[in-house]
Amino acid sequence: MPGTKEIRSKISSVKNTQKITKAMQMVATSKMRRAQERMRLARPYAQKMRTVIGHLTEANPDYRHPFLQPRDEVKSIGIVVVSTDRGLAGALNANVFKQTLYLMREWQGKGASVSLCLIGAKGLAFFRRLNVPILANVSHLGDRPHVKDLIGTVKVMLDAYREGQIDRLFLVNAQFVNTMTQKPVAEQLLPIESIDTEGLQEHWDYIYEPEAARILDGLLMRYIESQVYRAAVENVASEMAARMVAMKAASDNAGKLINELQLIYNKARQASITKELSEIVGGAAAV
Amino acid sequence: MAEQHTIHVDIVSAEGEIFSGDAAMVFAPASEGEIGVAPRHAPLLSLLKPGEVRVQTPDGQQHFFFVGGGAIEVQPNQVTVLADTALRAKDIDEAAALAAKQRAEEALRDRAAHITQAEALAELARAAAQLKIIERLRKLRA
């Protein structure tokens, strides 16, 4: 039986760990709320963008932008992977990577090569061990990602698409379903598949300044950027939610551990008292 | 009749809503020159240069917003400014893209350097697990 002193120091060390995990849980909770709010704020921009682009494409059926034009032959694909910068977020990153690998294997099976664009330090650490070209990377965006930090990374992929280096572009991130559930999702960024043209029955057209093609180009680029931004913000929300749950579990486990250790400690203490007593009694009897 | 004298203005950016309300007049730095939009303007779509969007509310107040660029959509009773949060120009975008590429290249080049403690520990755990498996396989074979 271990000495009582050792058990006591073990208990205090577990208690300290529990304090840290509890603090992390609370920090993650408040950060998650803020990230959710930012997700909400990003929505009107993307929606408005979609309707304007939808209208533009409807009004100019003769002009086909490369971003809207599906390519028959897919020789290579690009994947934008959004991951977190820090760990201790449960299986969040592992799930995103699994989804990515699944997507990679699916396309490699069809004979397409894969290049990656990584957002987040964890993704970089994971994928650089694989033998896959990484075209662009940005990490340490913090808890408040900004569009301006993503522009360069997205542009690399858009340029690769324009030049025909990649024929399709995907985006993988952890979707925030609710506090308990974060689902890894892969969606196609390019070519843009679904531009809702419903509700655009009225056949009027805009005055364009400059010409429609240039406006469409600018809008499509910003639209993709806003999609990636949305993914980055959503990933932060997911990260915080996952960390919150993981830290809650860790705190609970620490509590259980403390209870068990306390029991062992009490037993050890009781045993030593009994032993001492029996020694005294034995000693007295001998005299 | 109030609708005819005012126009609804929404200024949104990817990171959030900047302004929403009614206006008597809106001025924006369109790419071909400053434009003023009054209620019942013809539908217009234009790109914006970095500059200032000025909103005149019906009670005579003026609001100024800086936009780094973006686009403006005008419908007879609705103006939407899709504002950029970042200052953009071709060379700035180009530089950012280059930086993103470089980061990726650097990361691929120094596989060992710039390794964080957490990564090192994870690497160590992975190596230990592999060793364990090798040991077990040896035992099985022996």
Is the domain of B45 the same as that of B63? yes
CATH number at residue B45: 2.60.15.10
Identify the domain boundary among B83, B100, B130. Answer: B83
First to last CA, chain A: 30
User: Which residue from A44, A205, A218 is facing B47, i.e. has the nearest CB?
Assistant: A218
User: Which residue from B16, B46, B96 is facing A155, i.e. has the nearest CB?
Assistant: B96
Distance from CA of A270 to the nearest CA of B (A): 40
pLDDT at B113: 55
Distance from CA of A263 to the nearest CA of B (A): 32
Residues on chain B touching A207 (C-beta within 8 angstroms): 42-45
pLDDT at B86: 64
Distance from CA of A76 to the nearest CA of B (A): 18
Quote the tokens at residue A240. 């915080």
Residues on chain A touching B94 (C-beta within 8 angstroms): 155
SS (H, E, C) chain A: CCCHHHHHHHHHHHHHHHHHHHHHHHHHHHHHHHHHHHHHHHHHHHHHHHHHHHHHHHHCCCCCCHHHCCCCCCCEEEEEEECCCCCCCCCHHHHHHHHHHHHHHHHHHCCCEEEEEEECHHHHHHHCCCCCCEEEEECCCCCCCCHHHHHHHHHHHHHHHHCCCCCEEEEEEEEECCCCCEEEEEEEEECCCCCCCCCCCCCCCCEEECCHHHHHHHHHHHHHHHHHHHHHHHHHHHHHHHHHHHHHHHHHHHHHHHHHHHHHHHHHHHHHHHHHHHHHHHHHHHC
Quote the tokens at residue A27. 């920090």
User: Which residue from B85, B100, B116 is facing A137, i.e. has the nearest CB?
Assistant: B100
Lowest mean pLDDT among A187-191, B1-5, B10-14: B1-5
Is the domain of B7 the same as that of B76? yes
Is the domain of B104 the same as that of B136? yes
**What pTM does this model have?**
0.81
* CA pair distance B96, A154, nearest whole angstrom: 10
Q: Is residue A227 part of a domain?
A: yes
Q: Is residue A192 part of a domain?
A: yes
More confident residue, B106 or A246: A246
pLDDT at A201: 53
Residues on chain A touching B101 (C-beta within 8 angstroms): 135-136, 156
| Local confidence band at B88 (pLDDT 50, 70, 90 cut-offs) | low
pLDDT at B114: 57
Q: Is residue A48 part of a domain?
A: yes
Q: Do A226 and B88 touch (CB under 8 A)?
A: no
Is the domain of B95 the same as that of B76? no
Is the domain of B97 the same as that of B77? no
Quote the tokens at residue B136. 């077990």
pLDDT at A205: 74
Q: Which residue in chain B has the smallest CA separation from A122?
A: B119
Residue A210, preceding peptide bond in cis (omega within 30° of 0): yes
* CA pair distance A211, A63, nearest whole angstrom: 11
A45 close contact with B: CB closer than 8 A: yes
Ranges of chain A whose pLDDT falls below 50:
none
Tens digits of residue pLDDT in B28-60 = 999 888 999 999 888 888 988 888 889 999 988
Q: Which domain holds residue A142?
A: 42-243
Is the domain of B10 the same as that of B51? yes
Q: Do A134 and B104 touch (CB under 8 A)?
A: yes
* CA pair distance B71, B67, nearest whole angstrom: 10
Q: Do A222 and B30 touch (CB under 8 A)?
A: no
Q: Which domain holds residue B49?
A: 2-83
Residues on chain A touching B108 (C-beta within 8 angstroms): 128, 134
Is the domain of B16 the same as that of B77? yes
A88 close contact with B: CB closer than 8 A: no
pLDDT at B23: 92
Q: How many distinct structural domains can be found in chain B?
A: 2
Is the domain of B71 the same as that of B10? yes
Is the domain of B12 the same as that of B77? yes
Q: Is residue A116 part of a domain?
A: yes
* CA pair distance A77, B64, nearest whole angstrom: 44
Q: Do B43 and A218 touch (CB under 8 A)?
A: no
Taking CB atoms and an 8 Å cut-off, how many pairs form between chains A and B?
138
Q: Do B16 and A156 touch (CB under 8 A)?
A: no
* CA pair distance A283, B88, nearest whole angstrom: 91
B17 close contact with A: CB closer than 8 A: yes
ipTM of the complex: 0.71
pLDDT at A197: 60
B70 close contact with A: CB closer than 8 A: yes
Tens digits of residue pLDDT in A218-247 = 888 888 998 899 999 999 999 999 999 999
Backbone phi, psi, residue A82, to 5°: -100, 120
Tens digits of residue pLDDT in B126-140 = 778 888 888 888 888
| Local confidence band at B110 (pLDDT 50, 70, 90 cut-offs) | low
Identify the domain boundary among B68, B83, B98. Answer: B83
Which amino acid belongs to residue B100?
A: A
Sign, Cα dihedral of A82, A84, A89, A93: positive
Q: If you search the block for the tokens 């109030």, which residue do you land on?
A: B2
Q: How many distinct structural domains can be found in chain A?
A: 1
B18 close contact with A: CB closer than 8 A: no
pLDDT at B1: 44
Q: Do A44 and B17 touch (CB under 8 A)?
A: yes
Does residue B30 contact residue B49 with C-beta atoms inside 8 Å? Answer: yes
Q: Do A42 and B16 touch (CB under 8 A)?
A: yes
Q: If you search the block for the tokens 């059926």, which residue do you land on?
A: A61
Is the domain of B66 the same as that of B11? yes
Q: Is residue A10 part of a domain?
A: no
